[in-house]
């Protein structure tokens, strides 16, 4: 599903900037976002038009993305009980 701000052009621009800053990825793991998939297909199509036959492999495997997201769990367990990470209520006059 594409929305007003997350469209194919925005996703293509994002991936082009990311590739420029970080280099070419071999694989990209995506969720169900239609804009990201369309953007990567657009990047692969541009690579083919320029004569490059080394394409970015697109993986839409639910559990691979979930493994990456679960990596944050341990940090959340550490930071929640600590007082220093809680918001201090502000008094209003």
Residue 20, domain member (yes or no)? yes
Measured CA to CA, the distance from residue 38 to residue 34 in angstroms comes to 6
Measured CA to CA, the distance from residue 33 to residue 40 in angstroms comes to 11
Per-residue pLDDT tens listing for the chain (93 residues) = 445 566 888 888 988 999 899 998 998 888 777 888 888 999 999 989 999 888 899 888 777 766 666 776 777 777 666 656 556 666 665
Specify the pLDDT at position 41.
92
Residue 90, domain member (yes or no)? no
Specify the pLDDT at position 1.
44
Residue 44, domain member (yes or no)? yes
What is the pTM for the complete model shown?
Answer: 0.59
Q: What is the CA radius of gyration of the chain?
A: 19
Specify the pLDDT at position 48.
92
Determine the structural domain holding residue 14 and report its residue range: 8-84
**For the chain, what is the domain count?**
1
| Closest listed residue to residue 69, CA positions, set 30, 11, 37 | 30
């Amino acid at each position: 599903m594409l929305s007003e701000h997350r469209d194919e052009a925005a996703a293509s621009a994002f991936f082009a900037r990311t590739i420029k800053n970080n280099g070419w990825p071999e694989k990209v793991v995506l969720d169900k976002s239609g804009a990201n998939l369309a953007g990567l297909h657009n990047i692969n199509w541009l690579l083919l038009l320029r004569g490059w036959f080394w394409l970015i492999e697109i993986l839409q495997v639910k559990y691979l993305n979930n493994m990456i997201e679960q990596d944050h769990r341990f940090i959340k367990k550490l930071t929640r009980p600590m007082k220093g990470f809680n918001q201090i209520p502000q008094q209003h006059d």
